[in-house]
Every structure is written in C-alpha cells, then in structure tokens.
Structure 1
Amino acid sequence: MNASPRRASWRNWSGTARCVPQRILRPVDEAELVDAVVTAGRLGLGVRAAGTGHSFNQLSVTDGLLVDLTGHRGIESVDRAAPSVTVRSGTRLGDLAVALRRVGLALPNIGTLAEQTVGGAIATGNHGTGLSFGPLSGLVTALRMVTADGTVHELDAETDPELFHCARTSVGALGLVSSITLRCVPAFNLEVRESSAPLEAVLRDFSGWAASAEHISMSWLPWKHDVGIRTMNRTDAPPTPRARLRRYSTTVQELFCGVTGVAGRGSSTAVPVLSRALALPTPGPSTYVDVSDQVFTFPQPVRFIALEHALPLEQTPDALQELSGALRRAGQYSPYSVLVRVGAADDAPLSPAHGRATGYVNLTVPRNPGQVELLRVIEHVMRAHGGRPHWGKAHTATAEVLAPRYPRWADFQRVRARVDPDGLFAGDYAVRLLGPVGSLERAVVA
C-alpha cells in the first residue's frame, strides 16, 4: 500500500471540495483495505473513501484517513453463464465496459460518465435513463465489504440481506467496498435518434414520452420553447461508419457551454444572449448506431458543478413547469441544458429511486459564484415536488430534510449502528447527511 510521505492535500475533480488528511492510503488489494481500516481504528482516525473525485460535494472530505481506491482496480472474474462480472471497486466504468465488450457482454444501462469508479457510482446512486432500468446499484448481485472492525463481509440477497441492500447505496457510511458483482447482458448496439419537440407537448403526456423508447432523455434550455430529445433503442444493425465521432458532439457542446459561462461570468442574465451569439450550428434530426457504452457515455473535459434531484415520475412535469417560471422570475440561466432522464424504482433504502418510478432533473452550471447561486433556485423547486438529491451532486439537504423522504431511513440507520457503532466512517459531511451514528436509537429512547 502506498502512503503519502507527508500530509498531502486532496481535491475533487471539480475543485469544489478539498482537504488535508492526516494520511492518504492507496491500497491495491483487499488485504490492504483491511489494513487501512485497522490502522485507522488504532490511531483513532475517521475514514472516508475516494475514487476519481467526481462527487461535487464534501462526501470524501476528511481530516483523518482518506482511502484512495483508484489503485484497487481490475476485473476479478467473469461468469458468462450468469452472466455477471466481479470487479474491484476502484475500477473505472469505462474500463469495465471495454473489458466486458471484449468477452461479448455489457452492462444494460449506465450513466454518462465513464471516468467514475464502479464503487463511487454505486455508493451515490448513479443511473442512466429508461423506465425499465433502475440505478447501477440495482445490478449488484453480491459484494465484499470491510467494516469498522476489519471484518470482510461477503454479502448477497441471502447472506445478511439487510446489510447487503443497505450497502448497495451507502454513501461510504458502512465500510469500504472491496469488490462488486454486477449482472450483465449480452453486448448490444443502440440506435440513437436525435430530434426536437415543444416542451409543452412533452410535459402534456410525460409518462407516455418517458415510455416511448428503451432509453430516453430530454435537454432543455429554459429560455427556449423546444427541447432536444434523444431516444436509444436496441438494434441488430451494425455501428454506423464513424459513429464514434458522434459521441463527441456532446463534448463539443459542453466546451461551448464552458466558453459561454466564462463570457457570462459577470451576470447569468446575459447567458441567453451570449448563447445565441456564440451558438454552434444546430444539427437537424439525426440517426446513428453504435455499441451501447459508447452511446451512454461521452468525454467530459470541462469542469463544472451539477445538481440533480430524483422526483416521483408523475410530479416531474409539474416541477419542470414551475422551474421554468422560477428561472424566468429570477432572470438567471445556465449555459448548460437542464437534463431530464427517467428510471425504474429501486429497493436499496438510500437509493434516490427507492420505491418509485423516477424522473431525474439535472442542472449543470459553470464554476463561478453567480452561476452557483442559481442552484438554490433549482433546489427549492425540486424539494417542493418531493425531490431527493443525488448523493454525489451539489445540494444543501441535511438529515432533517432527507429522513422524511426515505421510507426505510430507520432501517439504514439500524444497520449503520450495527456495523459501525463508533462512527469510524462518520465524517463531518456524512453526519450532516445522515446524522450521528446511533441517533435513531437515542431519539427512540428519549
């Protein structure tokens, strides 16, 4: 295990979170994960884990022991009969997708960011889009986790099912996840269709729109009446020649948004004008085919901040209508589109999609104070419509706000108190999100 020779600093990808831990350890195998936990307990240091740092908040920040999992990577095994793959938690999703493709397999659905680690994506409830598909954590069939006493637990739906289901989305509050077994499917191609439609028409029959393709998303610039629609459906057709270049069109658009954000640094009210003045040529409706992981993901070189809430599917259109008015009244806009995706219900207690079909509403902003302030406008509307914030994105919610939104909040807290009674994994930010370890029991006694 590599340890920093002095107190090195750590920062997340977007530069919105920094810390100077007592120690940073970089384990490369499970034995070193156990050593890290035992060492922290002996020294009285709190433990937080970090991957590639793509959470926008303070989730990994600690002044104790930071465990950098990016060296704990690689495929442990592939079961083609199941089919499934067992992968170390620090493996990047993009690397996993490539490895699966080589053996004729794929994950059925993933989000847009290939650089994120599998462990980080599961811990924070990451997802793709499609009403038949839950978050990535819903693909987990087994995992191995090191808890506060140094014990390695082998977990699945039959072996300690309560801990297993809680560990599938845990925000790092239960232990260090070592390896994860994910359900796979045979490799597949997707036909992508890009078009536009009036926002009002989409919202009028939002459930019908959401069910009109296997995977579907909507991109909306709130000062416009039309939205961009992207549908993705499985196909037996081969990849379109030069299809790989198509995935970079979104990357180019993000670069454009970054430039617009810099140009409009002084006032977000100027964003619509600047966007029109600097606009790239708008492509017409288009169709192409590519392998699934290349369609789902795209390179994201521009550093930004993002907020996302998971809403009940039926409340999503009303939330978008209210959001349109709130932004208009505030006179504030981001150069990035509001991204709307959908997903199936999940059963992990802390999954943002727990117990309900979900509409995900995401807003990205440039990293400047005027734009960050815009997130408060968004968050207010999302909360009013039953939104649960993405665990890895920007938000201001505390345990008092979050607890009533999760029907199995108490179940998670009981499991947390069982496996981490002394709060080894309860960093300051985790306490803000979840409350102190044992707070549920103390509240009941009181």
Structure 2
Amino acid sequence: MLRPNRRIWSTWSGTAGCLPAQLAAPTSEDEIAEAVRAAVRNGLNVRTAGTGHSFNRLVTTPGALLDLTSYKGVVAVDRVAGEVTVRAGTRIGELCRVLDRDGLALANIGTLADQTIAGALSTGNHGTGLAHPPLSGQVARLRLLTADGNVLTVGPDDDPDLWGGVRTALGTLGVLTTVTLRCVPQFNLRHRVDSAPLQELLERFGAWAGESEHPSLNWQPWTDRVTLRSIDRTDAPSTPRASARRLAATLDEVRCGFTGQVARVGGARTVPALTAGLGGLGPTSPYVDASHRVFTFPQPVRFLAMEHALPLERTADALRELRPALRRLGMHSPYSVLVRVGAGDDVLLSPAHGRATGYVNLTVPRTVGHLEILRIAEHILRGHDARPHWGKAHTATAEVLAPRYPRWKDFRRIRAVLDPEGTFSNEYTDKVLGPVDAADRR
C-alpha cells in the first residue's frame, strides 16, 4: 500500500528531485497494480522511477512515485527461442551477467550497466553501430499496466501503433512490468583505440561510421584531433587482466571529475591545461573480453549530460559548427564530446525514428558555469534537425519536438486512449509532449 511519504527522492546525478506525497517500492506486479489503483482513488498522478539516471525532471512528481528497483530479477531464459523475460526494475548489468552464465548476450547495449531495463527502454537508450537500433529494437514483447489497473501484453503482432508507441513512451502510457528481450549467443569483443585529425575524420564521417561494428569517437573541442574507438566481434579469448583495461575507462571518468572540481577554483578556461597535465587514463592498447564487459564500465562520478540524435548525414556538419562556437566561448568541460551512431527504427518517440542516426553527447560538471556549454551546443544541434535524448538535459518543448517526429500525432492518440485522465503525466511530460487531450482520441 501507498503510505504518506516524508522522504525526498532524487536522481542519480542530484540534478532533480521531489517530495512525492506517496512513495512505494513494489516487489510484484500485483503490488504495482494496487499502488496505481490507490493513487487513482486518491486523485494522484503516478510516475515510475528506476535508478534515476535521467538528468531532467522526467519522473519527479508531487503525487505518487513508484520506485521499481525492488521489482527485479530474471523471470525466464529460453535458450531455444533466444529470449529472456525480465522484471522492469532489473539493472542491465545484472541481466547481462545472468545471460552470460547461460551462454547468451544482448546484441548491443550502452555504456551504463546500472540503468534499469524499463528506464532504458522508456527514454530511448542505445549503444553504437549502424546495424543496431536502440535497445527497444531488441524487445520481443512486454507487459504494460494501465491506469485502470489492467495489464496488456503487447507484441509485434498486436496493433502496430501501440507496439510502436509502448516501447519508448517516457512512462506516459502506463507501467512497464516485465519485458521479453531477444538474445544472441554469447560473444567476445575486441576494443581498439586510434586517433585521427578532426578535419580528416569529418570529411569521411559516413565511411568511418561503417568501418567498425560498434564505433565511437571522443573529441576535446580545444584540440584538432579525435580519439577513435572500434569495437568488433572476435573469436579470440579474453585478454589476461582485461578487467584492468576496463577500469581505465572508469579512472578516466574520475580524472574528469577531479579536473572539474579544480576548475571550479581556477575557472573553466583552465580545463585544457589541467587536462594536459593529468593526461588521459582510458584504455589505449587493444584488449578482448565478453561483450557486456566491453560495452559498459563503472561510472561513479556524478555529472550532467545532454545528448541529441541527428540524421547521420548531418552529424559531421553539426560538429564543424560546434568547433568554432565552443572555442569562442572559451569555457571548456573536462569531458570529451562523445559521438556514436545507430540504425533507425519504427518506434514512434524514438530519437532514431525513421533514420540512420548520429548521437552527439556533451557532458559537463554539475556547476552553473558549465551550463553555458550545453546551451550553445543545444542551439547548434537543434539547427541540424536534432531530437534530444528523453532522459538527458535539454530545453525543447512539444512545439519544438512535434515537427521532428513523423508519427507524433499517432503517439498522442494512443496516449489519449490508454490514459485519458493523464494519470501518468507530470510537469515534464506536459512540457515535452503536451497534456493529454481528449480530442487526440479521434
């Protein structure tokens, strides 16, 4: 049951928080249903939270907040069908470890293992690789608990609009309770690092994006070179002490966090000199390990991140425009600009909907002075038909976003049918999607 709450809930980064009237931590689908019914009886809106890795007010509410992190665990692994069914609050890393023991893996995931499955799906989480859509592309079916307390099982053979809408819905259609994901046989990956002149890379950006199965690049805007990372399947065994190579990426995050703290005294203009003095600690020599351990690494340092999904063919032009703008600003983040790529999909609110995608991510320390970097970058990226990551920092509104999504009206119709009273809304969803409108049901 929901009880009066006196505890403040906050996101992982500490950039958003709330004091919900009622806070529940259900451990079963029945308890989730009862919590939703109780909130509706009390006239409270309902939001659901996982590990809180969104950087905005996606789940904050003065109403009822359901913390799903206790509703976790693998329900079933079907090795013959190549599927795994998992509860919504299960962390990606936990799922990958279970799959690994059964000789299976997810084909592609992002860098953060601590996110919950439901949270990652709801916000459009992705890895990198032109053959790989976001995580929602690996969903075989799922269960959705709606505002009336009933549960729908939704799959690709059901209403195509509902299937397209439910896999990335910002929690506005109901509560995801269990998710069945398609798996592949366990595999190893080889991680390699190289560097190139920025201008040369931009001139062949499209070709570079297809040279590796899982490519990414890091760029410090005050320099004219980029670090290129190539991750590809291999039959080679894991490298001895591969975990130490993976830890190097975590140490690099710690270095960035330390640089950001020092720069609070000397100013963000001192970041290039501080970075040069400390050097990079990321893995530089090739290594091989199990796929989920290469894709992810521990990220203990709190920060603020913004990411936009651009048409792949416009990504290089956006980076060309970012370079002089960030240099003129003269204020720098110790974190590199991260660029990844991905396949398009048919999910209605996916930032990758309908197009091959370039993802441009900017990360800054959690200080007011660094917000100007994000403001400048967002303005430039928006000019290249960018769609913001639903869980990261941005200032877009429904008026800005609607023209960027071809199936925007279809999603609004589905939302008006499944949640006509706006039970699963909050201030953020009203800002980015608009409030539920009965007229949309037509």
The two structures have a TM-score, normalised by structure 2, of 0.97
Question: Which one-letter code corresponds to 2:430 in the other structure?
Answer: V
Q: Secondary structure of the residue that 2:286 maps to in structure 1?
A: strand
Shift of 1:277: 2.5
The answer to whether residue 375 in structure 2 is matched with residue 370 in structure 1 is no
Question: Which whole-Å CA distance do the structure 2 matches of 1:301 and 1:134 have between them?
Answer: 27
Q: 1:148 maps to which residue?
A: 147
Provide closer, same or farther for how the CA distance between residues 282 and 239 of structure 1 changes in structure 2, counting only shifts above 3 A: closer
CA distance in 1, matches of 2:206, 2:120: 27
Shift in Å, 1:4: 5.4
What CA distance in whole angstroms lies between the structure 1 residues aligned with 2:75 and 2:194?
41
The answer to whether the Cα contact below 8 Å between 1:218 and 1:340 also exists between their aligned partners in 2 is: yes
Distance 1:346 1:287 in 2: 32
The answer to whether the Cα contact below 8 Å between 1:55 and 1:393 also exists between their aligned partners in 2 is yes
* One-letter amino acid of the counterpart of residue 295, structure 1: V
SS in 2 for 1:265: helix
Matches within 5 A, 1:39-118: 39-118=38-117
Q: SS where residue 194 of structure 1 aligns?
A: strand
**SS state at 2:264 partner:** coil
**Residue 202 of structure 1: CA displacement?**
1.1
C-alpha distance in 2 between matches for 1:109 and 1:282: 21
Q: Determine the C-alpha separation between the residues in 1 that align with 2:355 and 2:325.
A: 26
Superposition TM-score, scaled by structure 1 size: 0.97
Aligned to 1:120: 119
Structure 1 position 260, deviation (Å) = 0.7
- Report Cα offsets for 1:298-343 as digits up to 9, x if no partner: 0000000000000000000000010001101111211000000000
Separation in 2 of the partners of 1:30 and 1:322?
49
Q: Kindly indicate whether the alpha-carbon contact (under 8 Å) linking 2:409 and 2:440 is maintained by their aligned counterparts in 1.
A: no
How well do the aligned residues superpose, as a CA RMSD in angstroms?
1.4
Q: 1:249 to 1:437 in 2, by over 3 A?
A: same
Aligned to 1:300: 299
Q: How does 1:314-329 map to 2 (within 5 A)?
A: 314-329=313-328
Q: Work out the CA distance in 2 between the residues paired with 1:363 and 1:37.
A: 36
Q: What's the counterpart of residue 406 of structure 1?
A: 405
Work out the CA distance in 1 between the residues paired with 2:367 and 2:22.
Answer: 31
Aligned to 2:136: 137
One-letter code aligned to 1:183: R
CA distance in 1: counterparts of 2:280 and 2:179, whole angstroms: 42
Gaps of 5+ in 2: none
Task: Name the counterpart of 1:270.
Answer: 270
Aligned in 2, Cα 1:34/1:264: closer, same or farther, shift over 3 Å?
same
> Following the alignment from structure 1 to structure 2, what is the Cα–Cα distance between the partners of residues 155 and 123?
15
Q: Residues 171-320 of structure 1 correspond to what in structure 2 (within 5 A)?
A: 171-266=170-265, 267-280=267-280, 286-320=285-319
**Aligned partner of 2:417: which letter?**
R
Q: Structure 1 segments of 4 or more deviating over 3 A?
A: 3-6, 280-283, 439-442
The offset of 1:372, in angstroms, is 2.0
Distance in 2 of aligned mates of 1:5 and 1:312: 46
- Compute the displacement of 1:278 (Å): 2.8
Question: What residue in structure 1 maps to residue 390 of structure 2?
Answer: 391
Write the distance in 2 (CA, Å) between the matches of 1:42 and 1:304: 38
Deviation at 1:47, TM superposition (A): 0.3
Which residue type is aligned with residue 318 of structure 2? A
Asked whether the equivalents of residues 216 and 341 of structure 1 are also in contact (C-alpha less than 8 Å), the reply is yes
Q: Which digits, 9 at most, give the CA deviation of each residue in 1:138-186, with x for residues without a partner?
A: 1111000001111100110112332222010000010000000111100
SS in 2 for 1:31: helix
* Greater displacement, 305-314 / 193-202: 193-202
In 2, the alpha carbon distance for the partners of 1:240 and 1:274 equals 32
Structure 1: 5+ residue runs without aligned partners?
Answer: none
Deviation digits for residues 57-82 of structure 1 (CA, Å, limit 9, x no counterpart): 00010000000000110111111112
1:27–1:67 CA contact under 8 A, matched in 2: yes
Query: Which amino acid is 2:273 matched to?
Result: V
Per-residue displacement from partner, 1:378-435 (whole Å, max 9, x unpaired)? 1011101111000000000111111111000000000000000000011111101100
Range 369-378 or range 96-105, more displaced: 369-378
Sort the Cα spacing of 1:7 and 1:263 in 2 relative to 1 into closer, same or farther, 3 A: same
Check whether the contact 2:420–2:438 (CA below 8 A) recurs between aligned residues. Answer: no
Match of 1:426 in 2: 425
Distance in 1 separating the partners of 2:170 and 2:369:
29
Q: Deviations over 1:103-161 (max 9, x none)?
A: 00000000000000000000000000000000001111100000111110011011233
SS of corresponding position for 2:124: coil
- The Cα shift of 1:440 comes to 5.9
Paired amino acid for 1:352: P
Aligned residue pairs, count: 441
Residue identity opposite 1:26 in structure 2: A
1: CA distance, partners of 2:36 / 2:370: 39
